Copies of this chain bind each other. A is one copy, B any other.
Amino acid sequence: MSKVGQQEVRITVLPEKREMLVPVGENLLVALRRNGLDIPSPCNGAGTCGQCRVRFEQGAPTPTDGDRRFLDSQEIGRGWRLSCLHRVEGPAKIYVVPQTGRLDTKVRIDRLLELKEFSPGVSVHPLCLTAPGRNDQRADTQRLVEALGGGAAIPLPILRRLPTALRASGFVLSVVKVEDEIVDLLPSDRANDIYGVAIDIGTTTLAGYLFDLGNGRQVAVYADRNPQLKIGSDVISRIQYGQEKGKEGFAKLQSLVLHGVNALIEKMAGEAGIGTSSIYKMTVVGNPTMLHLLLNVDPTAIANSPYVPVLRDGFALKASELGLDMAPLARVEILPAISGYVGADIVAGMLYANLGERETIELLLDIGTNGEIVLAVEGRMFACATAAGPAFEGASISQGMSALDGAIYQVTVEDDEISCSVIGGKEARGICGSGLLDAVAELRAIGLIDESGRLRRTEHPLASRIEGEGTKARFLLSDGVYLTQKDIREFQLAKGAIRAGIEVILERAEISVDDIDRILIGGAFGSSLRPESLLRVGLLPQINVEKIVSLGNSAGQGAKLALGDRKVTPRLQQLIEETEYIELSFIKSFSSKFIKCMQFPTDD
C-alpha cells in the first residue's frame, strides 16, 4: 500500500504483539485501520470525539492540544494519545484497547453522542424581557411566550413560579423547554445547565449514561446491580413475589428499582459536578417486565400464556410522576417493546445496529438471562425470545458469579496447559458467564466433554483434572474453582434454547445459515463472549467467525441515540410495527429442536 521509495517503519500493536510496516507520515488512525484494527472513531478522524485513543509503550509523539482536550495529564504521561491526531514518525509499540472484553462497571469518559443529528428536544432560551409598564400591560405568561416566539405550554408549577422568577431577576432569565413545554426557569447565568440521562434497566445490572445536552458530550457513565436482585434473580421470580404480596409487592419492586436508578443518577451527577435538578430528559430501556415494574404496572400477564404485556408502545411521563431525582418536570421516555419478552432493550439495539435498513441478511442476538433473537431479511424482521435461563449470568452455576473481581472471565487451553484469566488479576473466586462459555468450549475442543455434554477421562493430559464420577464429576479450572457436570448441563439448556430459537426464526423466514451476512452480538454481557467459543459450543450456527460482530451494550447505545435525537421516536415505533413476533412456546417443532440443540457439534 505504501508508495515506492517511501520510508516504512515497524509498529508493534499490543496486546496481540502484531507487527506491521507503515509508511512514515501516514495518519496513525488510518494506518491502524488499514491493517484491520477496529478502532472506534465516530467523528471519523476529526479529533472531536476522543474515542480513537491508543497508548504508546515506545515512541510516543509530543502531545497536541487535541490530546489534552480528551486526556488528562496522567493519561498523557502514561503514553495515551488520540491516534487520529498523529502521523507515523518512527518505530513504535502501541497498545490498542481490544474492542471485545468485559464491561467496565465504572468508567468515566468524555464522549460525544454518536448521532447523525443532535436534537434532544431540550433547549435553553436566554431571555431579556421588558418589564411591564403603562404601555405594556401584557400578562406574565404572554410576555414570556411571545419572547419565546409562541407555542410554549406552561404547566401549573411553572405558572406558580413565574411572577417571582420574573421580578426577582429583573425580567432577565433563561427558560428550559422540553419539546414545547416550559419545564424550568433559571437565572440567566445558569443557561448552560441542561443534562440528560440514558438508562438501561437490566434484570441484573442498571447502567446509566449522563450527557450534557448543550453540546452532546457524555460526562459520566455508571453501572450497578439492580437492587431487585434481593427479591429474585430473574423476571419470573420477581413477578411471583409481586403476585404473592399483592399491590404492595409491586410497589416494593418499583421502589427498589427507583432507588437504584436514583443512586445511579446521583453518582453520575456527583462525578460530573452537576445538580440532579439540571437533568431534563431521560430515556429508559430494559426488558418489558423491568419497565412495567419501574412504572408499577402489574406485569403478571407477561408471566402467563399468552404472555401479553400491558404496555408495548413508547410511553412518556414526567419525572415527578415516578419520584425520579431529576428536574420535576423532566420528560421520561420509556422506549417501546415488541412483545412481553422482546423489550425496549432489544428495540434499542435494533436501532443502534440500524437493523432493517440494509439489504443484507442480519441476525441480532442479545444473550443474557433471556436470549432474544431478531432476524432482518430485506426489510422484513422477525423476533423471538428464549428463556436461556440464568446460567450465563452465573446464577445456576455451582461457583457462578457476576463479572466482578475474582471471576474467571476467560479460559484458554494451549499446549496442553489451561490458563484462566481472572478479573482484577487476583486469585479466582468463581466463574462468570464468559468464563463458563470458554471453559465448556475449550474442554469440548480437547474432547474432555463429549457430544452429549458428559465429562469424560480421555488420554489428554488435562483429564487428570477431572474428579468424581457421573453426575458428581467435576473439572478443576483453577485453585478451588471447578466446572461441574451439573454446570455443563445448565449451560446446555441455555445454549440449546438460544440455538433452537435461531433455527425456528430461520425456518420462519425461509433462510438458511449460509444466507446470513452478519451475526450481531448485542447486550453488555453478550458482547463479552468470545465468538470462537460461541461457534465451538454450537450456540451459534457454523458461520465464518469474521461475520460475527460485537456491538457492546447495544441497549444502552440505543437509549443514548433516543436521548440525543427526538427524531428517533418514530423510527422506534416503525421498528416494532414492522417486526413479526414469533412466540416459541406456540411453535410445535421448538421442543424437538431444543433437545437436539443441547448436543454439542461433532466436528469443529
* Docked complex Cα distance between A298 and B168 (Å): 14
Interface membership of A20, Cβ < 8 A: no
* Docked complex Cα distance between A465 and B412 (Å): 119
Given contacts A141-B311, A141-B313, A310-B139, contact A297 B132 (CB under 8 A): no
* Docked complex Cα distance between A308 and B129 (Å): 15
Q: Please state if A141 and B306 are interface contacts (CB–CB under 8 Å).
A: no
Interface membership of A107, Cβ < 8 A: no
Closest-by-CB residue of B relative to A139 is B312
Given contacts A142-B313, A311-B140, A313-B141, contact A306 B134 (CB under 8 A): yes
Which of the candidate stretches A35-43, A154-162, A368-376, A504-512 sits at the interface with the other chain? A154-162
* Docked complex Cα distance between A163 and B307 (Å): 13
Chain B nearest CB from A318 CB (Å) reads 9
Interface membership of A133, Cβ < 8 A: yes
Point out the residues of chain B lying under 8 angstroms from A137, CB to CB: 306-308, 339-340, 581, 583
Interface membership of A300, Cβ < 8 A: yes
Given contacts A132-B308, A133-B306, A306-B134, contact A296 B160 (CB under 8 A): yes
Chain B nearest CB from A339 CB (Å) reads 6
Point out the residues of chain B lying under 8 angstroms from A300, CB to CB: 163
* Docked complex Cα distance between A315 and B156 (Å): 9
Say which residue of B160, B296, B307, B309 sits within 8 Å of A297 (CB atoms). Answer: B160
Number of interface residues of A (CB under 8 A): 43
For residues 283 through 335 of chain A, which have their beta carbon under 8 Å from a beta carbon of chain B? 295-298, 300-301, 305-313, 315, 317, 321
Residue from A134, A155, A306, A339 having most chain B Cβ neighbours under 10 A: A306
Point out the residues of chain B lying under 8 angstroms from A296, CB to CB: 160
Interface membership of A138, Cβ < 8 A: yes
Q: Please state if A164 and B298 are interface contacts (CB–CB under 8 Å).
A: yes
Chain B nearest CB from A586 CB (Å) reads 5
Q: Please state if A138 and B308 are interface contacts (CB–CB under 8 Å).
A: yes
Q: Please state if B310 and A163 are interface contacts (CB–CB under 8 Å).
A: yes
Closest-by-CB residue of B relative to A162 is B310
Point out the residues of chain B lying under 8 angstroms from A141, CB to CB: 310-313
* Docked complex Cα distance between A142 and B315 (Å): 12
Closest 4 CB pairs of A and B: A139-B312, A132-B308, A140-B310, A139-B309
* Docked complex Cα distance between A140 and B137 (Å): 50
Point out the residues of chain B lying under 8 angstroms from A307, CB to CB: 137
For residues 547 through 561 of chain A, which have their beta carbon under 8 Å from a beta carbon of chain B? none
Q: Please state if A134 and B301 are interface contacts (CB–CB under 8 Å).
A: no
Given contacts A133-B306, A306-B134, contact A142 B297 (CB under 8 A): no
| 5 more CB-based (< 8 A) A-B contacts, given A132-B301, A139-B337, A141-B312 | A134-B583, A137-B581, A140-B310, A156-B317, A160-B295
Chain B nearest CB from A447 CB (Å) reads 44
For residues 256 through 307 of chain A, which have their beta carbon under 8 Å from a beta carbon of chain B? 295-298, 300-301, 305-307
Point out the residues of chain B lying under 8 angstroms from A321, CB to CB: 156
Q: Please state if A312 and B160 are interface contacts (CB–CB under 8 Å).
A: no
Chain B nearest CB from A175 CB (Å) reads 15
Copies in the complex: 2
Closest-by-CB residue of B relative to A581 is B137
* Docked complex Cα distance between A293 and B132 (Å): 21
Point out the residues of chain B lying under 8 angstroms from A136, CB to CB: 306
Point out the residues of chain B lying under 8 angstroms from A337, CB to CB: 139
Chain B nearest CB from A185 CB (Å) reads 13
Q: Please state if A311 and B581 are interface contacts (CB–CB under 8 Å).
A: no
A-B residue pairs in contact (CB < 8 Å), sample of 26: A132-B301, A132-B306, A137-B307, A137-B339, A137-B340, A138-B308, A139-B309, A139-B310, A139-B311, A139-B337, A140-B308, A141-B310, A141-B311, A142-B312, A154-B315, A159-B311, A159-B315, A160-B295, A160-B296, A160-B298, A162-B297, A162-B310, A163-B298, A163-B300, A163-B301, A167-B301
Chain B nearest CB from A34 CB (Å) reads 47
Chain B nearest CB from A245 CB (Å) reads 15
Chain B nearest CB from A570 CB (Å) reads 15
Chain B nearest CB from A515 CB (Å) reads 28
Chain B nearest CB from A400 CB (Å) reads 33
Say which residue of B159, B162, B295 sits within 8 Å of A159 (CB atoms). Answer: B295
* Docked complex Cα distance between A339 and B142 (Å): 11
Chain B nearest CB from A319 CB (Å) reads 12
Given contacts A159-B315, A295-B156, A310-B163, contact A301 B140 (CB under 8 A): yes
Point out the residues of chain B lying under 8 angstroms from A305, CB to CB: 134
Closest-by-CB residue of B relative to A132 is B308
- Taken residue by residue from 140 to 174, chain A's Cβ proximity to chain B (1 for < 8 Å, 0 otherwise) reads as 11100000000000111001101110010000000
Chain B nearest CB from A246 CB (Å) reads 11
Given contacts A132-B301, A163-B297, contact A309 B140 (CB under 8 A): yes
* Docked complex Cα distance between A337 and B141 (Å): 12
Point out the residues of chain B lying under 8 angstroms from A155, CB to CB: 317
Chain B nearest CB from A227 CB (Å) reads 21
Closest-by-CB residue of B relative to A300 is B163
Point out the residues of chain B lying under 8 angstroms from A159, CB to CB: 295, 297, 310-311, 315
* Docked complex Cα distance between A305 and B133 (Å): 8
Residue from A141, A154, A308 having most chain B Cβ neighbours under 10 A: A308
Chain B nearest CB from A368 CB (Å) reads 22
Closest-by-CB residue of B relative to A138 is B308
Point out the residues of chain B lying under 8 angstroms from A583, CB to CB: 134, 137
Closest-by-CB residue of B relative to A307 is B137
